Amino acid sequence: MGMLDSVIGAMSGKTGEAGGANALIGMVGSLIQQNGGLQGLADKFSQTGAGGAFSSWVGTGQNQPISSTQIQQALGSDQVKAIAAKMGIDPAQASTILAQYLPKVVDKLTPQGQIDPNANHQQALADLVPSLLQGVFGGGNKPA
């Protein structure tokens, strides 16, 4: 996950790794919020043919991979460009990072295998920062 580490390092600047992780988590939080929560994201992915992959991230089994192209299609190029601008990278890198990172975040935000419409995703995302820094996102699967 070298590219993600590089982006976190670049985003953290003088604030340290935690600052970079917080910034990245903040952007994912914004992405979720702008799309109507996890259910809104699920709908977007379904509309572009990637609903099965998104459902696997929510479910308790193996996470299906997604390509950067599928990320671009589901989120739209304007949204990916906006994320890339905030991260200080080009859109292709942003969609590659989202393809690696978004399945793991959705997985962690849905530990019961379903979307909870009443969940506080902002708090749950903040709680993920220590895990991100410890490299927990390497596995990407919930226990069965």
pLDDT tens per residue, range 91-132 = 999 999 899 889 988 998 998 999 988 887 777 887 777 766
For the CA atoms of 63, 93, 28, 42, the dihedral, rounded to the nearest 10 degrees, stands at: -50
The mean pLDDT value of the chain amounts to 80
pLDDT at 18: 55
Whether residue 73 has pLDDT greater than 80: yes
pLDDT digits (tens, 9 = 90+) for 40-58: 999 999 999 999 999 999 9
Contact 76, 87 (CB under 8 A): no
100's CB contacts (< 8 A; 6+ apart) are 1, 3, 4
pLDDT at 15: 44
Q: What is the mean pLDDT of residues 3-13?
A: 48
Domain assignment of residue 140, yes or no:
no
Read off the pLDDT band of 60 (50, 70, 90).
Answer: very high
Domain assignment of residue 144, yes or no:
no
42's CB contacts (< 8 A; 6+ apart) are 51, 54, 55, 58, 115
Give the CATH number, domain containing residue 10. Answer: 1.10.10.690
Read off the pLDDT band of 134 (50, 70, 90).
Answer: low
Q: How far apart are CA 63 and CA 107, in angstroms?
A: 8
Domain assignment of residue 143, yes or no:
no
Contact 66, 103 (CB under 8 A): yes
Read off the pLDDT band of 12 (50, 70, 90).
Answer: very low
pLDDT at 42: 96
Whether residue 13 has pLDDT greater than 50: no
Domain assignment of residue 127, yes or no:
yes
Read off the pLDDT band of 28 (50, 70, 90).
Answer: confident
Instruction: Give the total number of structural domains in the chain.
Output: 1
Instruction: Tell me which residue range forms the domain holding 127.
Output: 2-135
